[in-house]
Amino acid sequence: MTTFEISLNGERIATQASTLQALLLERGYDLKSAFACAVNRDFVPRPQWPERSLQDEDRIDVVTPITGG
């Protein structure tokens, strides 16, 4: 398997996850929770997570909504 060096929410990590969904599962995210993802600052719709491939040096941002006002 190939290992990728990526940035996840500003933290440099190494992963063997080849897709965004695989990375989220590997890092312990509950896919039923409310959050959004961007890869290299481009929003990735949830239905595309299983197919969105990752590459070396990708920047992944996981954003959770904030409630209240």
Q: What is the mean pLDDT of each run of 10 residues along the chain (69 residues)?
A: 93 97 97 96 98 97 85
Any domain includes 68: no
- Asked if residue 69 belongs to a domain, the reply is no
Confidence (pLDDT) at 66? 83
Determine the pLDDT at residue 69.
Answer: 63
**pLDDT tens digits along 34-52:** 999 999 999 999 999 999 9
Residue 38: inside a domain, yes or no? yes
- The confidence score (pLDDT) of residue 52 equals 98
Q: Residues near 22 by Cβ (< 8 Å), separated by ≥ 6?
A: none
Our count of domains for the chain comes to 1
Question: What local confidence, expressed as pLDDT, does residue 68 receive?
Answer: 75
Q: What CATH number does residue 13 fall under?
A: 3.10.20.30
Q: What span, in angstroms and rounded, lies between the C-alpha atoms of 64 and 26?
A: 18
| Residue 55 belongs to some domain of the structure | yes
- 20 part of a folded domain: yes
CA atoms within 13 A on the CB side of 8: 15
Rounded CA gap, 29 and 27, in Å?
6
- In angstroms, rounded to a whole number, what is the distance separating the alpha carbons of residues 44 and 49? 7
Domain of 13, in residue numbers: 4-63
